[in-house]
Amino acid sequence: MRNIGEASSNALTLLCRMGYVFSNVNFDDCVMPTADLSSAIFYQCSFRGTDLEQAVLYKSQMISCVFDNAVMSRINLFSKKY
């Protein structure tokens, strides 16, 4: 792994692929650029200050989530990564 951000992205991508439903999870200040969160379900999760640059959010459900000060530049809403 090149860095902790890459490891975090890979771990979250794997959980999403396995169909894990995230409920009331605190992702505040995590570094997860390029994470593939497509088709994932997040309910009442906090992403305050989280780095989600270039993350894939295609068909993901973000229900009552908080994204205050999150880095969300160049996110992908329209196609899957893999």
Q: What are the domain boundaries of the chain? A: 4-63
What does the block give as tokens for 2? 């090149």
Give strand ranges (E) for 1-82.
21-23, 41-43, 61-63
How far apart CA 30 and CA 24 sit, in angstroms, is 15
Confidence (pLDDT) at 81: 62
pTM of the entire structure? 0.87
More confident residue, 31 or 68: 68
pLDDT tens by residue, 5-45? 788 889 999 999 999 999 999 999 999 988 999 999 999 99
Confidence (pLDDT) at 71: 95
